[in-house]
A and B are shown apart, each in its own frame.
Chain A
Amino acid sequence: MIRDPAHWSVLAVMAPLVGALVALRGRPVALRAGLLLGALGSGGAAWSLARAVRAEGPLVYPLAGWGAPLGIELLVDGFSVVMLAVTALVGTGASYYATAYFGDLSEASVRESPAGRGARYFAPLWLLLWASLNGIFVSGDLFNLYVLLEILGLSAAAVVTLAVTSKATVAGMRYLLVSLAGSLLFLLGVALLYIAGGTLAIGTLAEAGLEGPLPLVALALMTVGLAAKTALFPLHGWLPPAHAAAPAPGSAVLSALVVKGSFFILVRLWVDLHGGGTREALLLLGFLGAGALLWGSLLALRQRSLKRLIAYSTVAQLGYLFILFPLLYPVAGGWSADAWAGGVVHALAHALAKAAMFLAAGSMTYAVARDDIRAISGIAHRLPMTFFAFGLGGLSLAGIPPSGGFVAKWLLLRAAIEQGAWGWAILMTAGGLLTLAYVLMVLRHALDRSETPPSFRPAPRRLEWAAMALALLAVALGVRATELIELLAIGSGGRLP
């Protein structure tokens, strides 16, 4: 069928894109078909590319036969594959959830009810978002990355405004503006790099070995732009209102996946293009990550809205991904395989767990028709499976075994202790405890039977199952991560020490 494995990377982008076009038709069957196409195409592509990368190493594929420096290059390595895979899993879960969240998706509801109309817009927007994410993971070209980043930002901001409240509109607008500013900075950096290196292919640029101040300025600009899009402290202000206002399946993909898209590009820049940069710059990223971890967790503890709490938790958890940078390069020219594996596993575990938590929170707020931590008191007895999914996701987030989060924590701690970086080790341990504090705050309310919520409507089973499946995947990652870590070592991430 598809002979050249690199064609699968094209499919990863095309399948959700075609799905989006199908879903634009707006009929219930078209919405379902579009989502199914996106899920099957992405899943199949991730699976096949994983096999190909394991067998042959990183794939570089000139699109339409035009190679670098003229044409557009696709680049698929172990890191790309695991990100594609987790996107396929979370995306499938969120899509499945969406088919029940916006009403029963009948011909009438899609046309008449406000919720049903939400589904009509959610499906194509989310599929467009999915296509751009997959595109980012397989791009080896900076301009291409810019275009995809722009599509990602636009579709993500649009998903936020689907909730049709004034809050959502404001949050979505703000998100859009930050996102545009970030993209512009990124584009500026891309232009500077082109002047310095004469090409936009990451591989060729890296080989050229950029010298002088121009590439450094470019790197700084692009980093600021991407940090804003990743909501790195102190540029995180836009994230909590946006992620909290979006409809639940939207919140899940925004928090789990979209912020990882810009993180992915940051890794491409710092690791693949620049080979680590300077110690001071890496430490700065690490310190900002530490600030995110502490500040995000403390604010999460102060929230009354369940979805905002989870959104602040995203701000905090993204901190770990930046603490990763100083740990990756213990000395100039060194490379810590433990830190690399731990950091990426953390990103994957966070994606699964956070999506599960947002979906579970969506079911809870659906059931009590309010987004308030106190309103869900006693919900553990009404929606036990949702409660359990939220709990498992939260425990994985805090690094409590068995879970992907625990495996990630072990690896990151090992990297830190091996390097004698006790400050990072203690910070990460404290971060885990802070995470527990806000997760347990929610669980405690959910278990409290002293007050029962005033209103309650049962959540559709499909909502409960989707959250549970993702939470179980986060746990499964902690039972068997060997293949994944081996895969991660292939290609870009696996620069040999």
Chain B
Amino acid sequence: MSYILAWEALPLAIVLSSFVPGIAIMFLGEEDRRLRVGLNIAGATAKLALVAVMLVGVAAGREYAWRLEVLPGLELSLVGDALALLFVALSAVLWFVTTIYAIGYLEGSPNRRRFFAFFSLCVTATTGLAMAGDLFTFVLFYEALTWTTYPLVVHRGTPEAIRAGRTYLVYTFASGALLVLGAVWFQVETGTVAFAPGGVLDPEVAADSAGRFVLLFGVLLAGVSVKAAFFPVHGWLPIAMVAPAPVSALLHAVAVVKAGAFGVTRLLHSLYGIEVAWQLGVALPVALLAAFTIVYGSVRALGQDDLKRLLAYSTVSQLSYIALGVALLAPVAQVGGLVHLVHQGLMKITLFFCAGMLAETLGVKKISEMRGIAQRMPLTMLAFSVAALGMIGIPPVAGFLSKWYLGMGAIQAGAPWVVGVLLASSLLNAAYFLPVIRTAYLDDPEGTFDDGTGRRGLEADWRLLVPAIVTVLLALGSGVLGGFGWSPLGWTEFIVDRGAL
């Protein structure tokens, strides 16, 4: 009995593996650097190990579920199934590398205690919402994610950071309020908040009061669309760029934006069910909105001189691939969308790691300052270039697979216009990424890049460089080894084939 109980609690253990270090760090002194680093690394390692155990178990057909009744009839429910694991595994891996990056990046700066405490809490909320077994739990962690991220966004405490934090909160809390309202309404209408593969909505009930369910869908979608950065509520994302690089990396690759995209997936597949959603006519608008956002984000990225802003608009665009894929009524397209959750994460975190290294090592933040920078930082720019090519969709980097599956799925689903969107987006991606690469490699430097330390050897602090190399290798590996069952693509196919979506 106790043996079974221990396994049941595995999802809880995964959540606690970052929660406990986060709380503990808060009670440490600012100067307890060694202990803090130790706690961070121990937590991140423990999370990786626990996720690995769960992966093996789920692959073998086991299900993990842990529940705690909060109110009579409403429970905190953490479920480790195949879909949840896709997101959890991504966050566990990226949390580990970002922790190392952040330790190097923030070396010697003030308020690291608060930073690392909230950093851990932010990942806790992300893993919690990834494994949420029902809408109540999802909402709980979704809202918790908002406020645990705020201190990270305003970390520098400059007026600009404070303003950005305010914009971030206005967007996210306003949408969060709608999400709560929609969630309660969903419970009243259907009598349940549970997530289930294929949805919990009875098609006949939905057809009978179609108007109400369409409106309810609208409220819930409005609730998740801010974090998913759909046009026209994407505005907070480029502004939140004032945060330190590891925060931007985490925000754009795992935490906040993926919570939104995952929320759209849950809404379409686990609550309404994709067939009912098409029957009600609510899935097509989501696909169209996502398609428009893809093009819009890319157009806005064109001509940005600030590297982080360019990356931010690129995130707006790339993120909507996920929503577009999961909104289509074809399993292959759904695979393409879902797998982009992981692929975009790996590529985008690499890009942000690199941007952070340029800024931290050489103080370079603008593309116009990057002339010939590849000579000074060859590894950084190599990683950057590979990830950027992946974003464009050039094989064998992971982004290619996402686009390929999306395109094939769109044709299957009878929506060939999607292919046009993909092509346009790829061209635009090339139009804003290739000039950056050209500037870095082919242009002559304006002077010598000097970081003032006269450091020899590695081009940047190893704690910054190694994470970027690891993530770019993962992005490359996910593309090259996509045919294997344990690659992100293989796992996503496993989810969709099993009907676990």
- Give a binary string over A5-48; 1 marks a CB under 8 Å from any B CB, 0 the rest: 00000000000000000000000000000000000000000000
Which residues in B have their C-beta under 8 angstroms from that of A480? 68-70
Separation in Å of the B474 CB from the closest CB of chain A?
Answer: 33
Q: Does B407 contact A (CB under 8 A)?
A: no
In contact, B180 and A429 (Cβ under 8 angstroms) = yes
Determine if B169 and A447 form an interchain contact, defined as CB atoms under 8 angstroms apart. no
Bound together, the chains give a CA A236 to CA B344 distance in angstroms of 54
| CB-CB contacts below 8 Å: B166-196 with A | 166, 169, 173-174, 176-178, 180-181, 184-185, 187-188
Q: Are A436 and B68 in contact (CB under 8 A)?
A: no
* Chain A window 433-458, contacts with chain B (Cβ cutoff 8 Å), 1 for yes, 0 for no: 10010001000100111100000000
Q: Which residues of chain B in 123-163 are interfacial with respect to chain A, using CB atoms and an 8 Å cutoff?
A: 136, 139-141, 143-144, 146-147, 151, 154, 156-159, 162
| A401 on interface, CB distance cutoff 8 Å | yes
Secondary structure call for the B interface: helix
- CB-based contact B68/A479 at 8 Å: yes
Mark the stretch among B110-118, B363-371, B432-440 that contacts chain A.
B110-118
Partner of A401, one of B144, B159, B166, B178: B144
Residues 443-497 (chain A) with a chain B CB within 8 angstroms? 444, 447-450, 478-482, 485-486
Given contacts A481-B71, A486-B72, contact A401 B139 (CB under 8 A): yes
* CA distance in complex: A436, B178 (Å): 14
Name the B residues within 8 Å of A429 (CB-CB). 177-178, 180-181
Check if A164 is an interface residue, CB within 8 A of chain B: no
The answer, among A341, A410, A444, for a CB contact under 8 Å with B180, is A410
The digit string for A410-424, where 1 denotes a CB below 8 A from any CB of B, is 110110011000000
A-B interface pairs (CB < 8 A), number: 97
- In the complex, are the beta carbons of B71 and A482 less than 8 A apart? yes
Report yes or no: A381 in contact with B110, Cβ–Cβ below 8 A: yes
Interface centre among A399, A413, A447, A482 (most CB of B within 10 A): A447
- Say whether B13 faces chain A, with CB atoms less than 8 Å apart: no
Interface string of A373-416 (1 = CB under 8 A from B): 00000101100110010010001000111100011011101100
Point out which of B151, B159, B166, B180 has the most chain A C-beta atoms below 10 A from its C-beta: B180
A450 touches B113 (CB 8 A): no
Cβ distance A274 to chain B, nearest Cβ, rounded Å: 27
Q: In the assembled complex, how far is the CB of residue B86 from the closest CB belonging to chain A, in whole angstroms?
A: 24
* Cβ contact within 8 Å between B162 and A444: yes
Query: Which B residue sits closest to A436, measured CB to CB?
Result: B173
Q: Is the CB of B180 within 8 A of A482?
A: no
Please give, as numbers and ranges, the residues of chain A lying within 8 Å of B177 by CB-CB distance.
429, 432-433
Q: Given A480-B70, A481-B70: A409 and B111 within 8 A (CB)?
A: no
Q: Is the CB of A414 within 8 A of B184?
A: yes
* Distance (whole angstroms) from the CB of B70 to the closest CB of chain A: 6
Task: Please tell me if B415 contacts chain A, counting CB pairs below 8 Å.
Answer: no
CB distance from B242 to the nearest CB of A (A): 13
Nearest CB of A to B22, in Å: 12
Q: Which of B68, B143, B157, B173 contacts A378 (CB 8 A)?
A: B157
> Which B residues have a C-beta under 8 Å from some C-beta of A?
26, 68-72, 74, 76, 110-111, 113-114, 136, 139-141, 143-144, 146-147, 151, 154, 156-159, 162, 165-166, 169, 173-174, 176-178, 180-181, 184-185, 187-188
A401-B140, A479-B76 given; name 18 further pairs at CB < 8 Å: A381-B111, A395-B147, A399-B180, A400-B143, A401-B141, A409-B180, A410-B180, A414-B187, A425-B184, A440-B166, A440-B169, A447-B154, A447-B162, A450-B158, A481-B70, A481-B71, A482-B72, A485-B71
Interchain Cβ contacts under 8 Å between A and B, 23 examples: A378-B157, A380-B114, A381-B157, A384-B114, A385-B26, A395-B147, A401-B140, A401-B143, A402-B140, A407-B70, A413-B180, A413-B184, A417-B184, A417-B185, A417-B188, A429-B178, A447-B151, A447-B157, A448-B159, A449-B156, A449-B157, A450-B158, A485-B72
